[in-house]
């Protein structure tokens, strides 16, 4: 029970890191390390916590950058080895995407690291589609575009642009359509005037 509660709290703390009011990444790391130490490695729950812990490591700005990167990379490598693609395809795709992003962001890394990251993200995209989960699919495309842009080999910039355009096109049209189908009557909200322009 203690491990499960720590895992849930850690997952919520990591989710908050992507919001306007993020938790302290160091707290998320402590809670997730607590949970991970109490779970048997090789289980899906262990892989989920390890994936969250790798994300929390990414947001930390204390300690040695290379040690944080190595910790995240090692956790994701172990999680990737744990998750069965056939049994847990969507989770496997998430792990591959996160692993690819981490590999491509190696401190002092070069084109070989970016290529390895691109390969993992592309593998994850094989189990993602805009029809199943538009947001996760777009997340993978955006990260693929990022690594392609950074690598900058012939054709990469065009591929990166295509990734961004595909993600934006699917998100823009899809989210608008989802909003329109939520309710036949759209709520009326008066427009606030802003002194800044976009």
Question: Is it the case that residue 137 has pLDDT exceeding 50?
Answer: yes
- What pLDDT is recorded for position 61? 87
Query: From the centroid of its chain, how far is CA 109?
Result: 20
Dmax (CA) for the chain in angstroms is 55
In a domain, 100, yes or no: no
**Which distant-in-sequence residues (6+ apart) come within 8 Å of 125 by Cβ?**
93, 97, 137, 140, 141, 144
**78 and 115 assigned to the same domain:** no
**4 and 62 assigned to the same domain:** yes
**122 and 69 assigned to the same domain:** no
Here the CATH number for the domain that contains residue 19 is: 1.25.40
Query: Angle at Cα 48 formed by Cα 46 and Cα 49, nearest 5°?
Result: 65
**67 and 135 assigned to the same domain:** no
In a domain, 54, yes or no: yes
In a domain, 126, yes or no: yes
Cα dihedral 167, 144, 139, 77, rounded to 10, equals 160
**123 and 65 assigned to the same domain:** no
Question: Is it the case that residue 192 has pLDDT exceeding 60?
Answer: no
Q: Which of residues 115 and 63 earns the better pLDDT score?
A: 115
**38 and 76 assigned to the same domain:** yes
Model confidence pLDDT, tens digit, residues 63-113: 899 999 999 999 999 999 999 999 999 999 999 999 999 999 999 999 999
Question: Is it the case that residue 143 has pLDDT exceeding 50?
Answer: yes
In a domain, 8, yes or no: yes
**72 and 122 assigned to the same domain:** no
**10 and 54 assigned to the same domain:** yes
In a domain, 144, yes or no: yes
**14 and 70 assigned to the same domain:** yes
> How many domains is the chain built from?
2
In a domain, 187, yes or no: no
Q: Give residue 37's domain range.
A: 1-82
Mean model confidence pLDDT for the chain = 88
- What pLDDT is recorded for position 43? 96
- What pLDDT is recorded for position 174? 58
């Amino acid at each position: 029970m203690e491990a499960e509660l720590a895992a849930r709290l850690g997952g919520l703390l990591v989710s908050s890191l992507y919001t306007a009011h993020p938790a302290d990444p160091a707290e998320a790391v402590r809670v997730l390390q607590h949970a991970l130490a109490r779970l048997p490695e090789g289980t899906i729950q262990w892989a989920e916590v390890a994936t969250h812990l790798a994300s929390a490591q990414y947001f930390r700005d204390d300690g040695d950058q290379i040690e944080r990167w190595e910790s995240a990379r090692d956790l994701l490598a172990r999680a990737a080895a744990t998750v069965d693609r056939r049994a847990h395809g969507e989770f496997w795709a998430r792990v591959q995407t996160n692993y690819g992003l981490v590999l491509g962001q190696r401190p002092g890394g070069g084109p070989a690291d970016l290529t390895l990251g691109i390969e993992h993200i592309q593998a994850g995209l094989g189990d993602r589609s805009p029809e199943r989960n538009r947001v996760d699919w777009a997340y993978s495309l955006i990260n693929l575009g990022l690594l392609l842009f950074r690598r900058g080999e012939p054709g990469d910039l065009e591929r990166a642009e295509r990734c961004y355009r595909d993600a934006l096109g699917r998100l823009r049209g899809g989210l608008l359509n989802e909003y329109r189908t939520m309710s036949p009557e759209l709520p009326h909200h008066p427009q606030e005037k802003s002194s800044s322009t976009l």
